[in-house]
Structure 1
Amino acid sequence: MPYFRLLIILFINILFCLSSFAQSTTSSFLPLNTNQSRWADSVFASLTPDERIAQLIMVAGYSNRKPAYEDSLVNLVRTNKLGGVVMFQGGPMRQAKLTNRLQALSTVPLLIAMDAEWGLAMRLDSTVRYPYQMTLGAIQGNDSLIYNMGASLARQARRLGVHVNFAPSVDVNNNPNNPVINFRSFGEDKYAVTRKALAYVRGMQDNNLLTSLKHFPGHGDTGTDSHYDLPLIDKSRAELDSLELYPFKELIKAGATGVMIAHLNIPALDTTRNRPSTLSPAIVTNLLKNELGFQGLVFSDAMNMKGLTKYFPSGKADALGLEAGMDVLEFTEDVPAALAQVKQAIAEGRITQASIDARCLKVLRAKAWAGLNQYKPIVLDNLVNDLNQVSDDLLNRKLTEASLTVLKNENNLLPLQRLDTLRIASIAIESDKLTAFQQMAANYTQIEHFNITSKTPDSTLAQVRDSLKNYNLILVDVHLNNIRPATKYGLQAKTAGFVSELVSTGKAVVTVFGNAYVLDKLTFPSDTAQTNRNIEQARAIVMPYQLTNYTEELSAQLIFGAIGATGKLPVTVNQRFRTGDGLAVKPIGRLKYTIPEEVGVDSRYLAQQVDSLVNLALTRKAFPGCVVQMAKDGKVIFHKAYGKHTYDASLGAEPKPMQLDDLFDMASVTKVSTSTPALMKLVDENKFNLDGHMVDYLPWLKKSNKADLRWRDVLTHQARLKAFLVFWKNMKEPDGSWKPRTVKEERSARYPIELTDSLFEFKNYPKTIFEAIKDSPLNDKKEYVYSDLSFILYPQVVKRLTKQNFEDYLKTTFYNPLGASTLTFNPLRYYSLNRIPPTEYDSLFRKTLVWGHVHDETAAMLDGVSGHAGLFGSSNDLTKLITMYLQKGYYGGQQFISSNTVNEFTRYQFPELGNRRGIGFDKPSFKYTGNAPLSASKESYGHSGFTGTFFWVDPTYNLTYVFLCNRVYPTRNNSQLGELNTRTNVAEALYQAVKRGIR
């Protein structure tokens, strides 16, 4: 055989061997299609030996530094033809521009990596922050949420041009004082750590993001931070196999694409003194690659960390890392020195060129898998919005909710029930302003808020102590702004002592927004005099694991029973709080506050529709302002205030912007918020018979034409009662002056009824109203005629049957237990004028602006308390009441009204007569007229009010809707609200959003 043919055969065999070696190294690493494989092979063939070394080096990149720094980074990457950049602090737009610039100048597309364990926000502003891994460790039986987190993070990373996430941490954190892992671990149970890490890895890798398990072979059991020193792991090989190595073994079997080697000194694995695992052939090659069979990318931890550089200088350490078996060196500080040292190692035979080539090809295959074989620059348009999608918000809520852990619940105190029996104070520790927790808690009931920090004067603390004597429940929310043990988790001695005081009262529910290990700092040794002040003496303890708006808001919702708790402690804190601790708490049907997407509604679409309709009405001056609140499935998904209290500065100051908690005059919504629920309850108690007659409960009607009217007919407006009577005109003489024994301009015992601030009614005048109703004629024909008259009388019916006055009965039976404290008559007794939008300037009767007093003249003449008008309240509290209706009489763990009675009152009573009414409630017309939305089901019901109020309930769609405005300001002669049909159209927008779903 000719000599040159032997050379060709020998060359082919060498190539085949190299190819076989490379393929054996990467055969199960990443599945590539033909084009990807060809690209990797082609690029590899085009690289010089030096360039193949450079592909194994990643330098650090920052997008928050000056142009001179960026220029130097660009020059470093371009000159040395480096393989990748690991991005650190900055912002998404700045990083994207820097990445595009670097990629444009690189012959081979760069592999871009980030440390994004809990999302891009770990490094970048204006991006999504997911929960820490320890928080995720508390989640039970729902690891699909963690998978979804990985998938969402992968989408965000890829949108930003990132190909590798140095995550997750699979260290088993069995050392509470671990300064560097700690909250970054899923916990101390190796099985849970493995299971959750696997979900996270699969979520990322299934969506084309490379991952890196860290910190091999396990950084969980050390008190030293490898950023600052070389930690010693003094464990036997058997111990390491049993615990630290377990997650790595299992996840390698499951196909993890990367592993990061930690800077650890582990004598059981490598006896060389002060040798970090990063530089250990015994650990990197023998253990990880050979023994565990890992064929993916092996990354170093940052090559600038003191755990490495303390004993090995930059450059030399890089060469030793590759000599140990590393595939990619992360954060090489001195690139020229590193390249020189690696080439010297090759020349001296400590590293073979073949091994460099195999690792280079592995990196190129990873680049091809990540799509760099078809590289495209990052599109800057809409980048920040794309990185912050509403689906990420929803996922964050779900992850947080699933992690909430209740560690103590004395006598099942949580969720709080019977709010009418509780006088609640909220104390925010280490916050000098109202917290998100406090704001959310205030949605549920009336709460007095206090804020304490380590700088609070002792005199103020003394005042707070004295004030707390007036409360039988204290919500203590401990806000810790540091998660690390070196800072004692942000706990201050002064405030920690105050927390101990609070728990010693026996009235405290404590929520700790911080690292779970801080519980030990709030638990005093049992042999001290302060044993009775341990946090475990709290009546209930809630652990959300960290301080975010999500944890604050959802913890409050948990305490009040809108959501439940299923979380379990992922670490052992001390003998009292151990791994697996966590009490199940079930929700009790109170309103949950969330985003529309949680119930399958597109928030952007819903907001656009509602905003458009309301803003049109504001432009047309249909009303000065309004509040809209919507809920589906017992979840508030829309709550927004629009406009102002008035159109201009006519009241002596700039118009006050409408607020969510403003109190509105409900007008005729009063009928189904006072009289109707009272009668429902009395029907339940067999005290009121719908088929009885008016005289049965109002004996003074005995000789009137109303005595034998049946209540069912009366309540459905077909009993022949007149629509209304103008009672106030009877108070005036023909010349407009007041008749005797009607009103005076000063309050007195004889004139106690306040019509305005300067007009007071004779104490016995309400009797003339009742007499007028008694003597009023009936309509000739029995047909539907909407009437106020019977509703004016229901307070008397209720008082006769319950022995309580009307307002007291409503508050004790419904409003206070519901936590609906703003539902009240005569609101100026409890609330300031600036929380109440004014209604009409009354030019005929009271000759003044009606502001804080009931608009309806008859209700005003009845001392502001009537069954047809007079109720004031906020949208949120009205929503609680109607949610109770929606839930068939159930709310907050209490059955207020039986489901049968709710069904009876809310069904059509006489559809055969063309009467659309339920008992008290309005319902959809049989032909499209009236207030009901076009899409409303036949099971739906609601009511409207003259002042511009409206609510609607639809059991078929499981939704509630409240619209409150002051459309009669400054005059009732404004028909724009009706002409625009705003209230109904906004309700219809909700229906359409529900039907449309998320697209």
Structure 2
Amino acid sequence: MQKFKIDRMESGRGFLRDWVKGPVTHLLLVLACFFTGYFPLYGQVQRPPFLDERFTPWADSVLATMSQEEKIAQLIMIPAYSNKDQAHVDSISNLVKKYGVGGIIFFQGGPVRQAHMINRFQAESKIPLMISLDGEWGLRMRLDSTVRYPYQMALGGIGDEQLLYAMGAEVARQARRSGIHVNFAPVVDVNNNPGNPVIGFRSFGEEKENVARKSLAYMKGMQDQGILASAKHFPGHGDTDVDSHYGLPVLHFSKRRLEEIELYPFRELMDQGLGSIMVAHMQIPVLDDTPNLASTLSKPIVTGLLKEEMGFEGLIFTDALNMQGVAKYYPPGVVDAKALLAGNDMMLNTMNVPATIREVKKLLEQGEISKEEIDQRVLKVLKAKAWLGLDNFRPVETNHLIADLNSPEAEFLSRKLTESSLTLLRNSEAILPIKGFQNVKMASLSLGTSRTTDFQKGLERYAPMPHFTFPKEGNLGDVEQLRRQLADYSLILIGLHGLGIREGTNQYGISPEMVVLIRALMEEHAVVVSVFGNVYSLGKIPGLENAEGLIAAYQETPLTQDLASQLIFGGIGARGTLPVAINSHFGLGDGIKLSGGFRLAYTQPEALGINTEQLQGIDSLMHLAIREKAIPGAQVLIAKEGKVFYHKAFGHHTYDSLQQVRIDDLYDLASITKISTSLAAFMHLKGLGKFDENQTLGTYLPAARGTNKEDLRYRDILTHQARLRAWIPFWMSTVRKNGSFKWFTMKADSSRRFPIRVADDLYIHRNYHRKIYKEILASPLNEKPGYVYSDLSFILAPRVIEAITGEKFYDYLKQNLYEPLGAGTLTFNPYQAYPLDRIVPTEVDTAFRKQLLHGTVHDEGAAMLGGVSGHAGLFGTSNDLAKLMHLYLYDGNYAKQQLIAPGVVSAYSKCVFCEEGNYRGMGFDRPNRPGDPSGNAAASAPASSFGHSGFTGTYTWIDPENELVYVFLSNRVYPSRENRNIYRLNVRTSVLEQVYQALKK
């Protein structure tokens, strides 16, 4: 990103500014500094860029061809909308063709519709039109289908002005791509009146220096990329209590006050080549005491102050002339003529073009304005058009326009700006990021809405919790009901939603009942409050300073809510500061710094130096796999350095396309269960000194003693070279020749003797698991030593772990690993806790269970064990599985909790018997043919990487060298396990290879 340089004198050198603009030499300037004792740092004051002599020839040549009416029309900018009907479009066209207006300001609409209008009007115009738009927070302020950047108040709290420069440059890129030449931004008003009804959140804040720095960065970014910036609203609209859209504000300030505060940012930007200024509709008696005369129409203000005293040479636009600050006192045409007479160059939102031309001609006839003055202003407009490239106009290309405007880089910049703006105002006893999930019972509450919010969905990624809402119309009875529902929770995560962005009679939309509820919860629980709205609303909740955690998020967008949820759990940090003072508790510059990287972050590929477009191959592979019916759908998650940069769902649960896959759906993990349950427990116990891979099965499992399995060493068991058989088809011994189940094995209904659910309407005898374990222990060993992948030891693993710990298998995993990780969906028998529409079905089992397996485990053996086993049976989301894989990536540490002792995962993931041709780690798969695209790992995956795959179409891989975690979940066995297209297409490893290729670029 290009660095921008601010060449400016430091504050206090106002008397020198005019000298630099005049004929005084540098020598005189130095002498002045010597005699005054003042030696400022200074740089050359810059003029507006279009005043360069290069643009004069074209401007002169065009001016020479124009009639007087055309010259007047060139100073008119009319309003247009791209969301109105054809009659509106034709009416604008008529004004362009008949009168030759100088420009158009576009309001609400869409970029493609607007581009078509621009192309038509430009083709119809004798002189290219100057197209403008209000894009204070990007084109999205007016146009749908474009990137939205944060409000300026949010940007005011960012410490890095380089980000604002980048925003200006990107907004300029989008504007030029859309056919726009002037952006009426930045707002440089110093908002020192919290009750301001028209500026407020649109300002960078109340500190003039901060406003100037942020405005300058934004301006420079735009103008360096060829878009004319326009500082507004001169001479400063920040301390008003009247909205000039509806009335005329009166500023009873002294000239000194205006000089010291309101005019300060304007001067700073002027010194750096500001291209244009918009004059506001305000009455300022100290400058012009004419009754009911807005500054826009005041010659002492526009000509006297702005042009002569301050020396501004750029374009001067009026604010919209249909606003009531001027329109209630003068009719269309008259108001425009008075604005021109005051010294403005372009009249914005002219509502009656012929009347305006007539009124200006009257001024010429009456000698109130000269033809030379008109010519000078038209020449200035034409020079600006030349600088904007309108001397060589090209139509807007509408192909790919939406995609070009919404580039991944543009969206990532919005993410960076939003993240940098989040302001942490309270963090009592370092409650954030939230630590130790196993020690806290939490719930979320969204106020001001009756729907689950994006904020709550973001929180759910980190830990399972119930979500509550309280609507705007909630009453005291609802308050009491919520208090009862939340009574058992120690921590409440509150989001404040639906706030008005402007002050109003309803306290920004905060009802008295909301205040009562928040205060009650703060007294009864630990509370973290995230305020998604105007930061001034913080002052409307008495006692808010007593919240354990408080985040000012400035506005309510899906991105802001997403990032606030990440901040709470430590995915990202906090860097913002308050750009305004709220009250005695929340002051200017307040903001607690907090580091990120505590838990997973969720971001874009650009955060890791990867271009999103370089990952399009993944989408193509997934669509191919679905099209070829290798899989009905899937989830893909990829993370690097603890940042999830790719997380998508594809396709449907089944080929009937009735239920789309969502990223929070649960899949049957199949053999990934081995490394997610059995191995996880073994490694945890290893760290506690309770398990040693050099010991034998008989050491830990009494039932194995006296069998041929007693002396099997766990180092061999975990590397699948202990001579165990691959598997045993336990289910076949339950079926008669006619296909019915033997009477002592399965029943269609549950009972005391048959309580264990195998599938829908199928229950197994309560003691049948003993037969399975006995059969494993009695099974013969393979005659020849060597590698044979076996399920049998992992089926026994729960009994081993229960024998060591004295705890139930899943309870041990949940307490020691899953709960601390926040991996709540990692569970057996998900039908017990989740609706079926969140669980992806697997196979239509025609042999054993004779039904679609939905919510119960696919593996027959695990099903006969009640769905709980160490070799198969675990379900979960890609997100929660990724948490466990990150625990492995970071050698047993996650969220600053050493859940598995250091060195254990590292040792278990290493190749133990490579020299003997066994490529596996202890429990983990490793690349069997590194570099081979047909191997079990991506061709570019290093030999040190490890993971596991699952029969149902699942796969996960960990690459410590590149700090990568990859999760692929699918149900390739639907409708039948005979479908082997996933292997033919080699989808799972090919997806990861796309990431490696992107990293190389």
TM-score by length of 1: 0.90
Q: Which of 645, 648, 652 is 1:640 aligned to?
A: 648
1:139 aligns with 2:158: yes
Q: Which of 346, 360, 367 is 1:342 aligned to?
A: 360
Question: After the TM superposition, which of the residue ranges 900-909 and 313-322 deviates more from structure 2?
Answer: 313-322
Q: Per-residue displacement from partner, 1:586-610 (whole Å, max 9, x unpaired)?
A: 2243222333333344435534x33
CA contact (8 A) 1:230 1:310 kept: no
Question: After the TM superposition, which of the residue ranges 332-341 and 400-409 deviates more from structure 2?
Answer: 332-341
Alpha-carbon distance in structure 2 between the residues aligned to 1:833 and 1:47: 73
1:992 aligns with 2:997: yes
Q: Which of 577, 584, 588 is 1:579 aligned to?
A: 588
CA contact (8 A) 1:278 1:321 kept: yes
**Secondary structure, aligned partner of 1:470:** coil
Question: Structure 1 residues 317 and 709 mapped into 2: Cα distance closer, same or farther (>3 Å)?
Answer: same
Matches within 5 A, 1:443-592: 443-456=461-474, 462-486=480-504, 488-523=507-542, 534-592=543-601
**Secondary structure, aligned partner of 2:264:** helix
Alpha-carbon distance in structure 1 between the residues aligned to 2:838 and 2:580: 47
1:182 aligns with 2:200: yes
Task: Report deviation, 1:507.
Answer: 3.4
CA contact (8 A) 2:46 2:271 kept: no
1:972 aligns with 2:977: yes
1:895 aligns with 2:898: yes
Question: Structure 1 residues 872 and 97 mapped into 2: Cα distance closer, same or farther (>3 Å)?
Answer: closer
**Secondary structure, aligned partner of 1:977:** helix
Task: Report deviation, 1:643.
Answer: 3.7
Alpha-carbon distance in structure 1 between the residues aligned to 2:71 and 2:851: 87
Alpha-carbon distance in structure 2 between the residues aligned to 1:459 and 1:934: 62
Cross-structure match for 1:201: 219
1:231 aligns with 2:269: no
Matches within 5 A, 1:36-75: 36-75=55-94
CA contact (8 A) 1:54 1:83 kept: yes
Alpha-carbon distance in structure 2 between the residues aligned to 1:106 and 1:656: 53
Question: Structure 1 residues 863 and 357 mapped into 2: Cα distance closer, same or farther (>3 Å)?
Answer: same
Alpha-carbon distance in structure 1 between the residues aligned to 2:415 and 2:421: 10
Q: Per-residue displacement from partner, 1:100-148 (whole Å, max 9, x unpaired)?
A: 23222322212122121112222223333221111111212x2222112
CA contact (8 A) 2:46 2:272 kept: no
CA contact (8 A) 1:167 1:211 kept: yes
Task: Report deviation, 1:672.
Answer: 0.4
Cross-structure match for 2:873: 870
CA contact (8 A) 1:669 1:944 kept: yes
Aligned residue pairs: how many?
Answer: 958
Task: Report deviation, 1:744.
Answer: 5.2
CA contact (8 A) 2:421 2:577 kept: yes
Task: Report deviation, 1:457.
Answer: 6.7
Structure 1 unaligned blocks of 5 or more = 1-19, 524-533, 649-653
CA contact (8 A) 1:606 1:993 kept: yes
Alpha-carbon distance in structure 2 between the residues aligned to 1:843 and 1:165: 66
Task: Report deviation, 1:279.
Answer: 2.9
**Secondary structure, aligned partner of 1:577:** coil
Q: Which of 137, 144, 153 is 1:118 aligned to?
A: 137
Task: Report deviation, 1:48.
Answer: 3.5
Cross-structure match for 1:318: 336
Question: Structure 1 residues 128 and 969 mapped into 2: Cα distance closer, same or farther (>3 Å)?
Answer: closer
Task: Report deviation, 1:240.
Answer: 1.7
Question: Structure 1 residues 739 and 535 mapped into 2: Cα distance closer, same or farther (>3 Å)?
Answer: same
Alpha-carbon distance in structure 2 between the residues aligned to 1:662 and 1:291: 66
| 2:596 partner amino acid | P
Alpha-carbon distance in structure 2 between the residues aligned to 1:592 and 1:682: 29
Cross-structure match for 1:880: 883
Question: After the TM superposition, which of the residue ranges 806-815 and 969-978 deviates more from structure 2?
Answer: 969-978
1:962 aligns with 2:967: yes
Cross-structure match for 1:527: none
Q: Per-residue displacement from partner, 1:329-358 (whole Å, max 9, x unpaired)?
A: 222333334334433434444333333222
Q: Per-residue displacement from partner, 1:446-470 (whole Å, max 9, x unpaired)?
A: 1222232233576655543322223
Cross-structure match for 2:919: 916
Q: Per-residue displacement from partner, 1:41-83 (whole Å, max 9, x unpaired)?
A: 2112223344333322222223333333333333333333322
Task: Report deviation, 1:204.
Answer: 0.4
CA contact (8 A) 1:914 1:926 kept: no
Cross-structure match for 1:5: none
| 2:969 partner amino acid | L
Question: After the TM superposition, which of the residue ranges 950-959 and 697-706 deviates more from structure 2?
Answer: 697-706
**Secondary structure, aligned partner of 1:441:** helix
1:98 aligns with 2:106: no
Question: Structure 1 residues 730 and 104 mapped into 2: Cα distance closer, same or farther (>3 Å)?
Answer: closer
1:949 aligns with 2:967: no
Question: Structure 1 residues 805 and 103 mapped into 2: Cα distance closer, same or farther (>3 Å)?
Answer: same
Alpha-carbon distance in structure 1 between the residues aligned to 2:977 and 2:228: 66
| 2:242 partner amino acid | T
Question: After the TM superposition, which of the residue ranges 830-839 and 880-889 deviates more from structure 2?
Answer: 830-839
Cross-structure match for 2:723: 720
Matches within 5 A, 1:325-474: 325-456=343-474, 462-474=480-492
**Secondary structure, aligned partner of 2:104:** strand
CA contact (8 A) 1:506 1:538 kept: no
Q: Per-residue displacement from partner, 1:125-173 (whole Å, max 9, x unpaired)?
A: 3333221111111212x22221121111111211222111111110100
Question: Structure 1 residues 668 and 189 mapped into 2: Cα distance closer, same or farther (>3 Å)?
Answer: same
CA contact (8 A) 2:569 2:598 kept: no
Alpha-carbon distance in structure 2 between the residues aligned to 1:845 and 1:379: 61
| 2:653 partner amino acid | H
CA contact (8 A) 1:423 1:473 kept: yes
Question: Structure 1 residues 843 and 82 mapped into 2: Cα distance closer, same or farther (>3 Å)?
Answer: closer
Task: Report deviation, 1:714.
Answer: 2.0
| 2:497 partner amino acid | H
Cross-structure match for 2:317: 299
**Secondary structure, aligned partner of 2:967:** strand
| 1:877 partner amino acid | D
Cross-structure match for 2:714: 711
| 2:883 partner amino acid | K
Question: After the TM superposition, which of the residue ranges 257-266 and 77-86 deviates more from structure 2?
Answer: 77-86
Task: Report deviation, 1:36.
Answer: 3.4
Alpha-carbon distance in structure 2 between the residues aligned to 1:847 and 1:158: 62
Cross-structure match for 1:595: 604
Q: Which of 924, 929, 953 is 1:926 aligned to?
A: 929
Question: After the TM superposition, which of the residue ranges 799-808 and 247-256 deviates more from structure 2?
Answer: 799-808
Question: Structure 1 residues 372 and 961 mapped into 2: Cα distance closer, same or farther (>3 Å)?
Answer: same
Question: Structure 1 residues 647 and 316 mapped into 2: Cα distance closer, same or farther (>3 Å)?
Answer: closer
Q: Which of 291, 297, 304 is 1:279 aligned to?
A: 297
Alpha-carbon distance in structure 2 between the residues aligned to 1:930 and 1:97: 52
| 1:56 partner amino acid | L
Task: Report deviation, 1:553.
Answer: 1.4
Question: Structure 1 residues 750 and 598 mapped into 2: Cα distance closer, same or farther (>3 Å)?
Answer: same
Task: Report deviation, 1:192.
Answer: 1.0
**Secondary structure, aligned partner of 2:810:** helix
What root-mean-square deviation, in Å, do the aligned CA atoms of Structure 1 and Structure 2 show?
2.9
Question: After the TM superposition, which of the residue ranges 90-99 and 566-575 deviates more from structure 2?
Answer: 90-99
CA contact (8 A) 1:453 1:495 kept: no
TM-score by length of 2: 0.90
Provide the identity percentage. 50
**Secondary structure, aligned partner of 2:461:** coil
Alpha-carbon distance in structure 2 between the residues aligned to 1:655 and 1:321: 62
Q: Per-residue displacement from partner, 1:668-727 (whole Å, max 9, x unpaired)?
A: 111100111212222222222233333332344444444443322221122333322334
| 2:573 partner amino acid | G
Cross-structure match for 2:95: 76
Cross-structure match for 2:987: 982
Structure 2 unaligned blocks of 5 or more = 1-20, 23-44
1:627 aligns with 2:632: no
| 2:249 partner amino acid | P
Matches within 5 A, 1:249-268: 249-268=267-286
**Secondary structure, aligned partner of 1:342:** helix
Task: Report deviation, 1:552.
Answer: 1.5
Question: After the TM superposition, which of the residue ranges 340-349 and 884-893 deviates more from structure 2?
Answer: 340-349
